[in-house]
Structure 1
Amino acid sequence: MTLPFDNISPSRMPRKLIRKYMPDEAKLKENRHLSWLGEYIHDPNLWHLTRKSVCKAFMVGLFCAFLPIPAQMLLAAILALFIRSNLPISVGLVWITNPITMPPIFYFTYLVGVWLMDLPAQAMEFELSVDWLSSGLSHIWQPLLLGSVICGIVAGILGYFLMQAFWVWQVNRSWKRRRKNNSNKNQ
């Protein structure tokens, strides 16, 4: 019995799995919204799917996802350029905080910040308006920012090491399958 990945080198297994969900590199390079990156966008290291670049991308993307700022994707792209992580994965992971997940995530980071600063949590109604942003946010921005940065660092580090472990596990699993298939063929 042959498995679908028998003809693929075991070290390429995680790459094949990740590449399945990645956007097209050529389309991203031609995107007019990314033109501000200039020649940096053509650096092949930003597009390779290696264990190192993918793990760093998880660290960057998860860290930026927890930041309560409007330009999370931009910051993730800049950090990806700076530390040479995979650009599409770094930017894509920012979408963990989306309009549905944002309220519970940022409420949690606010509570972490309140706990770290040893402050009482303030109960307030959230209202998406300029008035609330100018008055309501001014009372909670310090614990929110502290909690967000701490949670982002923890999530980034966890993401880095969990992706390292997943990559190694996937390669080992693939090698075991290959050895088992080879021993079955020889019998």
Structure 2
Amino acid sequence: MAEFKKRLRRWFPTAQTLEQMRGFAWLGHYLRVHPRLWVLHRRGVALGVALGVGIGVFPLPLQMPAAMLVAVFLRANVAAAAAATWLTNPLTMAPIWGLSAYLGSFVVPRQVAAKSSEVMTQWAWSSPQTWPEAFWEQVMSWGPALLVGFPMAGAVLGLGAYAIVYWAWAVLIKQERRRRRRRSATVQ
């Protein structure tokens, strides 16, 4: 675990370097006063990742600053929250939006939640230039279900990310303790 933390610390900027970056000076000052928001511990990192993933689901233009602000208020690891927003990218956008529409269809009445659009069911796989139009029409047909599903998908994915990071951190701690016991047993 100590080796893993050393590697992570090399990647993270310090509070002093954040104070020198344009736009993040306020955060560097705040982190210097409240260093617990930057320390690598299981609960803080797990909560930071969960916040980053949960906020990253929303198609907002400023996901990273929003995740960092929420992490400051909830006392989570700020760097983990900012990094976790990068889970949403052009490759993961379609599955996340599909999950959002699926979850939203449970809340939105059936007559409002639209089924597959005509363009989507008659998708022309042989002509890729028609794909964006078909995809956009499908997204527009989801409408209310998609909008209701974004917070639900954010909550589901965020809770899942929290559980995975918290569990993986616990496994790493157990492995490190076993390794230390073996070292001390061989020395004596």
Scaled by the length of structure 1, the TM-score of the pair is 0.76
Across the two proteins, how many residue pairs are aligned to each other? 169
State the alpha-carbon separation in 2 of the partners of residues 145 and 37 from structure 1.
Answer: 31
Per-residue CA distance 1:73-114 (angstroms, 9 max, x = gap):
121011011101111110110010012322332233223322
Match of 1:161 among 163, 183, 186: 163
Deviates more, 1:99-108 or 1:86-95: 99-108
Question: How far did residue 37 of structure 1 move?
Answer: 4.6
Question: How far did residue 136 of structure 1 move?
Answer: 8.2
Q: Does 1:91 align with 2:93?
A: no
Per-residue CA distance 1:129-169 (angstroms, 9 max, x = gap):
xxx7xx98765442112222111111111221222211111
Q: Does 1:76 align with 2:67?
A: yes
Matches within 5 A, 1:25-174: 25=14, 26-35=16-25, 37=27, 39-42=29-32, 43-117=34-108, 118=110, 119-123=113-117, 126-127=132-133, 139-174=141-176
1:33 aligned partner, one-letter code: G
State the alpha-carbon separation in 1 of the partners of residues 153 and 62 from structure 2.
Answer: 18
Match of 2:9 among 8, 16, 19: 19
State the alpha-carbon separation in 2 of the partners of residues 154 and 68 from structure 1.
Answer: 16
- For structure 1, the residue ranges without an aligned partner over 5 or more in a row are 1-9
RMSD: 2.7
Per-residue CA distance 1:5-48 (angstroms, 9 max, x = gap):
xxxxx6x455335335x332233332112245584343312211
* Larger RCO (CA within 8 A; separation ≥ 6): 1
Scaled by the length of structure 2, the TM-score of the pair is 0.75
* Kept in 2: contact 1:67–1:145 (CA 8 A): no
Question: How far did residue 57 of structure 1 move?
Answer: 0.5
Q: Which runs of 4+ in 1 moved over 3 A?
A: 35-39, 124-127, 135-141
State, as a whole percentage, how many aligned pairs show the same letter: 28
